[in-house]
Amino acid sequence: MTDDTWIEQGQEISTTADLREYVAEIRAEVSHMQTGLRAAFGALTSRSWLDTPGDDRPADILGEHLEMTVTPAGMAAKDALYRQALAALVVALDAVDRATLTAWMADVNAQDPNRRA
């Protein structure tokens, strides 16, 4: 049996307060997932995030380690697939994060269009 909590909760939204709460929960979950992707850094570099000095930690895992328009020479198909799947996940999480930020800004705008964002 699958957990349809998000679907069920989304279908019960009937007020802007419900929507704000729902968007906040989505943003929190995405943030947790993005934090969890630090494990991908360890898988790609053979050194965990915590064992990597701060200056050596990439600001952008996607651009620095996952982005590839051409598979590097000698890379096994399984490794290329792993990288591509992680890149797709990073992009999807970023899209959700941007969408929830847009929903938040729309809510602020609806309350007071002249308020500073």
What is the chain written as a DSSP string? ----HHHHHHHT--SHHHHHHHHHHHHHHHHHHHHHTHHHHHHHHSS-STTS-GGGS-S-HIIIII--SSPPTT--HHHHHHHHHHHHHHHHHHHHHHHHHHHHHHHHHHH-TTS--
- Report the C-alpha gap between 51 and 16 in whole angstroms: 44
Share of the chain above pLDDT 90, in %: 4
**Residue 65 has what pLDDT?**
63
| C-alpha distances in Å from residue 83, one per residue of 18, 37, 107 | 37, 12, 36
**Residue 99 has what pLDDT?**
92
pLDDT 10s digits, 56-90:
776 666 666 667 777 778 888 888 888 788 888 88
> Count of alpha carbons within 13 Å of 69, Cβ hemisphere only?
0
Q: What is the pTM of this model?
A: 0.66
- Report the C-alpha gap between 13 and 9 in whole angstroms: 7
Position 98 pLDDT exceeds 50? yes
- Report the C-alpha gap between 61 and 35 in whole angstroms: 11
